[in-house]
Structure 1
C-alpha cells in the first residue's frame, strides 16, 4: 500500500529510452488499473492480456521520443522504438501506462478485467478469480460476466480443427501461418494431441521488453513459420525491428504497431523461436485446440505482483488435472489404435503362411477356411478388446461431462478445487500412466500383442481411473456445497456435456470437426458461401482437367479462383484402409489423391464431401483436411470409393 506521505513510482523500459518518475499522493492509491483482454490490445502487443494503470497527472507526459500508433480513432498507443516495450495509451482525458514498466505493483493497483467477451473463449479470465479481479463483458462500465455466463459463452464457440494457424499483428505488416507441430509418438501422447507448448513468463527481461507483467509464448521451429505465400518466414523481414536484450538473446517487434512477434537465442540447437501467442487468430484467445498450456508461470520470482501471479496459477489445479486425465485416455486410445494396426499386419502375414500349410492338408483346409470365413462374417470381434476400446473411448467424455456439470454450478471455486481432490485426481493420473499407457507403449514398441491377462488389467485400470476421477469430482462438489449452503439456491440445473475443456481437447468426435447440413431441405440456410469453390466445381465437371501450377512442387498451394490456401503436400496422397471380407486379406487399401481434396474445398477454407453429395441425402462439411480424410475413410464403403476417379485402390 502507499505510504501516508505519498508514493514515488519509477518506471522504465528495458533499454531506458522510456523512463518516468512520478510522486503521487496516498489518496491516489490504489490506482485504477485494468487487465485488458480486447483484440486490439492482444494483436498490438502480442500478449494474451495487457496490464495497465492510470496515472492521475494533469501534465501530458513527454512521449515525443516514442513511436505512436493509432489503433482506433479514440486511442493512440505508444511504444519504445528501440526495445519495443509498450509504454502507454492515450484516450481523451486519460493516460494509462503499461504496468510492467513499474518498479513494483503489489498492493498499488485496483485491477479489473475488461473486454472478456472479445476473447471468444474467456481467454485467461478463466485463470483469474472473479471475486478478486472483476470480469467485465466490455469496458469498465459494462455489465459483469458471471461464471455461469462465461460457461455458456465458452460453449458457444466451436473449436477450429484447421491444419494452419494464422498469425498477424494489428497493422497487418507482419503475417504468417503455423502448421500443426510435427511430433514424435511420445511427444504427441504427452501433449494430448498435436499441439504446441505454451506458457506465461514473468521474467524481468520479458516484462521490460513488452511493458506488461506477463508474456505469453509458444515454441515453434523456424521452418514451420510460413509466409502467406507458403515460404519460410524471414526473420529479417523489413517490417520487424530487432533488439538484443542480453548476449545472444534477440527480440523482434513490428516497427509500425509495436506488436511483439518472436524471441530467439543463439545458444539453442536446434533453433527454436518463441512466438507471442497474442498474434494468433483462432477459435479463441486461449487456442486450446492448438496450444497445451503449462501449469506454472515461468520466473515467478520476478513477478512484481506476487498476488496476481499466485491467482493466475490458482485456477489451473483441478482444471489441469482433469485435462491431464482426459489427455491420458486420448493417448491410450491412440496407442491402442496403433496396436490394432500392427495386429492387422501380423494377422495378414500369419494367414499367408497358414494358407500355404493348408495346401498340404486338403481335408483340414476346408474346415479351417470355413472357420476363418465364419469369424470374418462375425467381424472377428474379441470381447476383451471391444470392452477396452469402449472404455478408452467413453472415459474421457464421461469425466469431461462430470467436470462441466459441477463447474456450471460452482464456477471458479470448483476449478480451483481443494487439496483432497487434487491428491485423488493426481493418483488417477499416476495410475493411468503407470498401468494403461505403460502396458500399451511396451506392446507397441516391442510388437508383442497384450495377453488376455494384460487386456483384463488394462480394462480394469481404465474403468477404475474413470470411476475414481468422477468420484473425486463428485466428492469435491459435495464438500464445496456444504461449505457454502447458499450455493444450493444459486446453482444451475445439470448441463449437457460440453465438447471441450478449459485447457485441453477431448478425444475427437465427428460433431467437433464438421457439421452435417441438409442441402435438400435448407440449402445451407444462413451460410452465404456456395457449397464448393468455382475451381472445385470445374475439377468435378472435367475429370481430365489437370491441377493448376500452384499445386505443383514448390507452388503456393493456393486456389486460383478463391485464393484460399489448401494444406496439401504435392505428389503425396492420403492412404486409407477399408475392411472387405471378399478380398484375400480382408482389407482394401486406397490412396486419396490431392486432386480429390482440392475439388472438395470451399471458398471459406472448409471441405465438402463430393461422395456425400453423390451418394447421400445430406452434404457434410468439415473444417479440417485431416478430419475430412478420416470421414472419407470411415463413412464411405469400397463400392463408393471405387466410383471416385480421384481415389485409387492400391493392389
Structure 2
C-alpha cells in the first residue's frame, strides 16, 4: 500500500513539474484539431459543390429529353409537314451565379483562417522552446499566473473555434470566418504574451546568467549604445538615443482585425486628419503635445531637438534574419551567432536587426478620439488592424510585419550596433 501511494505521489510530482509544458501541448493540439475540422469543412463544401453541379447537369439532360419527346410527338401529328425544332439552351440561373460570387469573396477569408490555425501552434511551441532552453524545468513548471492565462486560451479555442467548426459540419451552414480568424489570432497572441510575461517575472525574481550568444526576443530592452542608420542621426551625432524599454504586456483583447477592407463596416474614418497629413507629407514634425485635429495626446521630442534626431518615447523592436554569406571572415567581423550550418560553400548565420519606431510613426497611426490603426497594414495588407493602445500597436508591428516593410517606412529607423551582440 505504501509503495502504491509512493508511486502515485511520484507520478503527481512529475506531472506538476511540467504543468506549463502540458498546457502548451494542449494548445498546440487544439490548433491541430481546428485545422482538421476546417479541412473537413472545406471538403464537405467541395462535395456539395460537385453534387450541385451533377444535379444541374441531370436537370439539363431531363430538359433535353423532354424537348426531344415533344418534337417527336409534334412530328407525328403534322404527318410529314416540316416543323421547326426547338433546341433547349441550358444555362445557370442568376442565383447560382450569385452563390459562386459569394464563395469567391469568402476565399480570402478562408485562406487567412487556415494560415492562422496552421501557424498558431508552431509559433507558440517555438516561443516556449526558446524560453525553456534558457530557464529549464522551472519554466516548464510555470507559475500560477501563466497557468491560468494559458488555461483561459484553451477554453477560448475550444468554446469558439472548435465549437463553430463542428456546428458548421453538422448544419452545413458556412461559419463566421472573421470571428474564427480573430479568435485564433487572439489565442495565439495571448499564449505567446503569457509565456513572455512569465519569462520576465522569472528574470526579475532570479536573473539567470547568459550562456553564450543566443537569439534575441522580438522586443528587448536596450543594453548597448547603438546609433541610428539615418541621415538625421549621423548629422546629429548624439551618443545615447533615448529608447523606451521593452514592450510592456498588452492584452490580446486590445487588438482586433477590421475585416476585409472592401467590405468593412467601420464607423468613421480610419485615421485622424493630422495622421493622414503625416502619412503623405515628410515635412510636418511632431511638435504638438496634443493632436491639432482631434485633441489626442501625442508624444513630443525633447526641447531644442528635432524629432528626426530621436525622441524620448521611441520603441525598439528586434527581428531575426538568416544570412547566407561566402565570406570566411564573418566571425572576425563580430557578427557570428550560436546557430549556423554549412550549405555547400555558403555559411548560414542568424543575425538580429534592431529597428526604432519613432513617435512620428505612432502619431501617424492614431485614430480620431482614441485608438490606433496600423499604417503598415494599410500599405501592405488586404485588411486593417485596429489597436486600443500604443503598446498593442507596437507589439503588432513587431510580430506581424517584416523587415522589408519596415525599410519602406521613413519613420521606422534601422539601428547599427556599435558592439557585437552578446
* TM-score normalised per structure 2: 0.40
> Higher helix share goes to which structure?
2
Larger-Rg structure:
2
Q: Of the two structures, which has the highest relative contact order with CA contacts closer than 8 Å and spacing of 6 or more?
A: 2
